[in-house]
Amino acid sequence: MMTQAFYTGINGMQNSSLNIDAISDNLTNIDTVGYRGYNLEFANLFEGMVNQAAQSSSVDSSIGIGADVQVSTTSQAQGSLFLTDRSTDLAIDGDGWFAIQSDGEPFYTRDGSFLFDSENDMVTNEGLHVLGTMGGNIDTDTNTLTGVLNSTILGDINAQEKLNFPKYLTYPAVPTGNTSFIGNIGTDAVIRTMSSGVVDGTNNKNELKLTFTKAAIQTPPGSQWDVEAVTRTLDGNTIYDTKSGKVTFDATGALTSSSLTTIDNNGTSINIDLGSGFTGVTSISNLNISASSVSDGTIGGDLQGYDININGEVIATFTNGLQSSVGRVAIFHFQNDQGLERVSGAKFKESSNSGEALIFKDTAGNNVLGATLVNHKLENSNYQIQTGLTDLIIMQRMYDSNSKVISTADQMIQKALNMDA
């Protein structure tokens, strides 16, 4: 019995020491972004009854030799979020994990301290690549944007890849092909003008100007106007083309016909749309004089930088003021988050207990994040310092108590030996 007290005390000291190590590890990582605290759970080792009758007694008459670590459980509680000054910092509000990878199998983390490296690849502070879905709208041979995406559709689990973006990216110029004019030129014999900005095939923004002059000979009812269209540089020094036509309005001021259809813009043809009826240009006496226009086409631009929005979209911004989604950060899920194997700090890896990584789907079968992403924020450690300090005191007391068990057992053995003498 006295020998067993030694084993029980030693076992208790070992378990207390393991618990102190775990609590100390948690407290050490109290400022680690995305850290998940953990606890050790113990199970009794073999124990037996003092006598058979004690089995039916309400008094615990069992004799055991201590406990052993059975499992380590990770807390899945949400850590608090704090503000940062980087749009590339992300926090998951809800269930899920980011995936990061260098070579080999990916790691999973709640630490969203991401940035773009010198090559504009999306990485962690340690240089590990962030996994997600590329938008597929970048020609990597020419580093040109091939299309504008309002949103990148999240791919399937096997389609997730390293988010690599070119250091230099061009938003290609799209020449103007159509220009529509809207406004009221009135009925007085006064020269009226309308103009619109148009883009040519060499990425220059030019001006398309219309000049309306009331025809000298009028055939009522309604009115007739001569119109001249000119395409020229914005400074007016170079004229690319001049076209003339006639427009006719009925007695109500609605446009009934126009012979002005197209004009050349430094090698690119533009369709001129003056509308019809009251939908475009009108000639009405009791309305204010007005003029506006709508043109398609886009001036080209160079990449200014990448940012991440609250949906995890990687957004490319260009010098022409336009933006496009070019990728999306993925959130991964597991059937059993407790089964993830801790690698270090806030990094985990997949195990047979966790199951394989999943991408959630909505009721329509579309891939979804399954949680809310928040940019300009990071997630604090979910371990509470007050809990850790309290548990540390308890474990220290437990360690001391078990050491006293050993001291007491030693004294009892010494007395027993002296009695034999």
List the one residue out of 76, 144, 200 whose CA is nearest residue 324.
Answer: 144
Lowest mean pLDDT among 23-27, 81-85, 120-124: 23-27
**pLDDT of 323-376, one tens digit each?**
999 999 999 999 999 999 999 889 999 999 999 999 999 999 999 999 999 999
The pLDDT-based confidence of 221 (bands split at 50, 70, 90) is very high
Across the chain, what does the average pLDDT equal?
Answer: 88
Q: To which residue do tokens 């086409």 refer?
A: 297
Lowest mean pLDDT among 89-93, 359-363, 390-394, 412-416: 412-416
Q: What is the reported pLDDT for 63?
A: 58
Mean per-residue pLDDT, 275-304: 95
List the one residue out of 141, 121, 148, 137 whose CA is nearest residue 300.
Answer: 148
Q: Where are the domains of the chain?
A: 2-76+381-420, 81-171+303-379, 178-295
Does 203 have pLDDT greater than 70? Answer: yes
Q: What is the reported pLDDT for 89?
A: 94
Three-state DSSP class for residue 88: coil
Task: Indicate the pTM of the whole model.
Answer: 0.73
Mean per-residue pLDDT, 224-234: 97
Mean per-residue pLDDT, 213-242: 96
Evaluate whether 325 touches 138 at the Cβ level (below 8 Å): no
Evaluate whether 346 touches 35 at the Cβ level (below 8 Å): yes
Q: To which residue do tokens 């979020």 refer?
A: 81
List the one residue out of 10, 23, 22 whose CA is nearest residue 385.
Answer: 23
For residue 155, give the amino acid letter. G
Buried b (16+ CB within 10 A) or exposed e, 181-190: bbbbbbbeee
The pLDDT-based confidence of 60 (bands split at 50, 70, 90) is low
The pLDDT-based confidence of 419 (bands split at 50, 70, 90) is confident
The CA-based dihedral angle spanning residues 81, 83, 89, 94, taken in that order and rounded to the nearest 10 degrees: 20
Does 176 have pLDDT greater than 70? Answer: yes
CATH class of residue range 178-295: mainly beta
Output the six-digit token pair for 179.
């220009």
Lowest mean pLDDT among 56-60, 142-146, 317-321: 56-60
Q: What is the reported pLDDT for 164?
A: 92
Buried b (16+ CB within 10 A) or exposed e, 105-115: ebbbbbbbbbe
Does 38 have pLDDT greater than 70? Answer: yes
Does 177 have pLDDT greater than 80? Answer: yes
Mean per-residue pLDDT, 387-392: 78
Evaluate whether 281 touches 255 at the Cβ level (below 8 Å): yes
Residues in contact with 108: Cβ distance below 8 Å, sequence separation at least 6, in sequence order: 97, 98, 99, 100, 332, 340, 347, 348, 349, 350, 357
Q: What is the reported pLDDT for 43?
A: 63
Residues in contact with 238: Cβ distance below 8 Å, sequence separation at least 6, in sequence order: 232
